[in-house]
Amino acid sequence: MEKTKDVIRPTDADAIRLAKTLIRSARYGSIAVLEPETGAPLASRVGVATDTDGSPLILISMLSAHTRAIIADPRCSLLLGEPGKGDPLAHPRITLVCRAVRLERGTPQQARAERRYLNRNPKAQLYVGLGDFSLFRLEIERGSLNGGFGKAYNMTAADLLTDSPALDMLADSEQSALDHMNADHLDAISVYARHFANASGEGWRVTGFDAEGMDIASGDEIRRIFFPQPLSDAGELRKILVEMAKAGRAALGVGLSQETSVPP
């Protein structure tokens, strides 16, 4: 009998980077839950952001069927990855198997999640404070990455999440760094977008920092930029942003203007 070929590839650094890019750059996704009355699968679209470690964050209404479902049974899966031109199945996507955790208002975890969600999805400011809306953190258990035809990977939570001693300190200083960069250093952000994300257009702003990189957005377009090396301390953020701005300007042939900096 002919042996069945294993279509799952060994997980390597490129696959991990692609998976993290799909997660960190998502604005929305399709969530699948179990309908409590029947046990039948139920899928819906949700807005998405990420916590500092890369865990997906969703803001959903208690009036929605999928919200009632994950309160009854927190098991769910989330499909991320936007199709482009041509065959939609030729474009990368990732399915995350998760458990949903509701974040209680008034807790530091909920405040951080709300801030990061609104930085990614500013229009949600219109309804984030309504009583029937709640933020949920989707705790990743495993993932299935399809990087295109013949590129399938099974991934662990450790493959997909950011684990760093700098996470908590970065979370504490993140908003002041974002405000400073977006107010005073749009020129540097444009360099990051053009050189490191190969992005065109104007109006780029930084929406999030974490130990492995930053997320930038212009309108509805979001790009993920990884740092040359992960941060081990929040104090390293300023130095790495300066170095990236200089490297990007040199590569693009752009003259140096004001030095990129972030608050201590």
pLDDT at residue 158, as a whole number: 98
pLDDT at residue 261, as a whole number: 42
Q: Among 2.40.128.90, 2.60.120.10, 1.10.3720.10, 2.30.110.10, name the CATH number for the domain at 13-160.
A: 2.30.110.10
pLDDT at residue 4, as a whole number: 60
pLDDT at residue 207, as a whole number: 98
Domain boundaries for CATH 3.20.180.10 within the chain = 167-250
pLDDT at residue 87, as a whole number: 87
Would you give the distance in Å from CA 160 to the centre of its chain? 11
Percentages of the chain per state (helix, strand, coil), in multiples of 5: 35, 30, 35
From residue 57, alpha-carbon distances to 69, 98, 165, 169, 202 in Å are 17, 11, 21, 20, 27
**87 class by beta-carbon count within 10 Å (0-12 exposed, 13-18 middle, 19+ buried):** exposed
pLDDT at residue 259, as a whole number: 44
pLDDT at residue 262, as a whole number: 40
Cβ of 69: how many Cβ atoms within 10 Å? 24
**Domain topology for 167-250:** Split barrel-like (3.20.180)
pLDDT tens per residue across span 192-250: 999 999 999 999 999 999 999 999 999 999 999 999 999 999 999 999 999 999 999 99
pLDDT at residue 206, as a whole number: 98
Element (H, E) at 153: strand 152-156
Low-confidence residues of the chain: pLDDT under 70: 1-5, 255-264
Closest CA to 96 of 34, 53, 156, 183: 156
CA angle 20, 93, 121 (to 5 degrees): 65
First-to-last alpha carbon distance for the chain, in angstroms, is: 65
Domain boundaries for CATH 2.30.110.10 within the chain = 13-160
